[in-house]
Structure 1
Amino acid sequence: MFELSQEGRVAVLTLCRPPVNAISEEWGDALLELLDDLDSREDWNVLHLRSSQKVFAAGADLAQIESWLDRPRPAEVLSAYIKRLQGVFARLESLSRITIAEIGGAALGGGLELALACDLRIAAHEAKIGLPEVGIGLIPGLGGTQRLTRLAGRGVASRMILTAEPVDGREALALGIVQWAVPRADLPAEAARIAQRIGSLPLPALRVAKELIASHGAGHEAGYALERELGGGLLLTPEANERITAFIRKSATNLKTQEPKQ
């Protein structure tokens, strides 16, 4: 269901459950185990999610959900499934590293909710992005109603959820659902470039920055206090020491070379 590889400080997680990377209970359990293992390692800064299929992920395993209709108390079974997968996506969201989703094809329902649990999203212009659950009599239950509203605002969330109509990558960018949109042919290289760029940055600073961004909503004063507390501590890290010194030396060298000759 997944393939994990590494390119420098970037862990690459490829979704490979043909044909559409349907999200089942077993899929969620496997992803949770993988995330727990990754979070115990210190050899990566970025998790890059991508797909080996034409789609990114087309949502919940509807065949599995349909089978629950014949079981006693199917509503309770569905609620338990939702709770289980909400926990998996919360685990992804809470990783102490940066996560980026590369959306080359359809990211629908739970597939989009998976991408919304990542810090960053890049989509192909041709991608199909949406939360169509209302169209089959359900709702986006894996965090979609909450994360999309926080990310893009109530108006965008209402449009996407209440109409059940998907948008392409360009419109998703305009709506603030993704941060980048490029032609499909350019997507793998651009997603890898962004991931490698972030992977080259100091992990302590990335962790603190992610924590501070996540604290938005706690109030300005609380956020400012965290900036003082956590930001000050970064000065003591070897990464900050080395990079500040290197930056000053480089700046001094550049200034010296720009001095007019006597």
Structure 2
Amino acid sequence: MLTEITMFRTSVAGQIATLTLSSPPVNALSDAWISGLSREIARIEARDDWKVLHLRSDQKVFCAGADLKEMRVRFEAADGPDRTYAYVASIQRLYARIEALPQVTLAEIGGAALGGGFELALACDLRIAAAEAKLGLPEVQLGLIPGGGGTQRLTRLVGRGLANRLILGAEAVDGVTAERLGLVQWAFPRAELADRVIEIASRIAALPSAALAAAERCMASAAVPGRGGYGDELELTREFQTDAETRQRVSAFIAGARV
């Protein structure tokens, strides 16, 4: 099944929802783009036939960040600070919604992912980059900050020291370096990227959805002081003892069958 709305295409097959960013030339983060992506995420959320959200682009870049025309209008407007606040807040809400999805989210970064584009990828659970891609948060070179969640998610992901290097130095790195630094989990030559992404997404989509969601919940607890992630592990482990799919898989594993 294929649905299409302006700037985005979504297809669902094999428990994988593929959301393609398709707003030429660079998937710029305009007000309309942010609203459209929010609506598309809501449509996908309402479905129950997917376990993995595969976020990709059909442009030369993944997402290059803010729409420059709208940025100029906000910058020159008398109420520019308030407009900019509302704009960045809308990005934060959208990315927080993606981050909070109980399903697995995977960003395929085939080209540049800079500024708000890289912040979008950081909101996903998994990131797979082309070796030739460019990734970074260069906002400080304009006298700005990565306000769409970049300072928070990148610091949690790689630690303060490396976040300092990348954000304070306005440094962009290629996909190979991004994998080495822990910004992405995999990097492949661009010619191999699409096939490798499908392999990884399909492997995850074959796993039990309840266990995937529970693992995500426990890992999210690790980032919240006092949340009690160990307690979450205990309670969820108890719940899975009576889960039908878990019991079937464990029984097959004990019997020596491949799960």
TM-score range, shorter chain: over 0.9
**2:148 counterpart SS class:** coil
1:245 aligns with 2:251: yes
Unaligned ranges ≥5, structure 2: 1-6
Residues 1:54 and 2:55 aligned together: no
CA RMSD of aligned residues (A): 1.4
Q: Distance in 2 between matches of 1:221 and 1:10?
A: 31
Contact 1:123 1:182 in 2 (8 A): yes
> 1:93 maps to which residue?
99
Would the aligned equivalents of 2:128 and 2:197 in 1 still touch at CA under 8 Å?
yes
Aligned residues: 252
Kept after mapping to 2: 8 A contact 1:208/1:231: no
Alignment TM-score, normalising by the size of structure 1: 0.93
Q: CA deviation at 1:212?
A: 0.6
Structure richer in helix, relative to its length: 1
- What residue identity is the alignment partner of 2:113? A
The residue number in structure 2 matching 1:174 is 180
Q: Is the 8 A contact 1:50 1:103 kept in 2?
A: yes
Identical residues among aligned pairs (%):
52
Query: What does 1:140-151 correspond to in 2, within 5 Å?
Result: 140-151=146-157
The 5 A counterparts of 1:60-75 are 60-75=66-81
Question: Residue 40 of structure 2 aligns with which residue?
Answer: 34
For 1:196-248, what per-residue CA distance to the aligned partner results, in whole angstroms no more than 9, with x for missing partners?
A: 11000000000000011111134588111110011211222221022112222
CA deviations on 1:94-141 (whole Å, 9 max, x unpaired) are: 111000000111000000000000000011111100111111121111
| Structure exhibiting the larger radius of gyration computed from Cα positions | 1
Q: Which residue of 2 aligns with 1:77?
A: 83
1:250 alignment partner, SS class: coil
| Structure 1 residues 1-262: aligned runs within 5 Å | 1-219=7-225, 222-251=228-257
Whether the 8 Å CA contact 2:221–2:227 is kept in 1: the answer is no
Q: What does the per-residue CA deviation read over 1:45-94, in whole Å, with 9 as the maximum and x for residues that have no partner?
A: 00000110110000111211101233222011101100111000100001
Deviation at 1:160, TM superposition (A): 1.0
TM-score by length of 2: 0.94
**Change in 2 beyond 3 A, CA 1:84/1:250:** same
2:90, 2:17 → 1: CA distance?
24
SS of residue in 1 equivalent to 2:135: strand
1:240-261 per-position Cα deviation (integer Å, ceiling 9, x unaligned): 022112222335x9xxxxxxxx
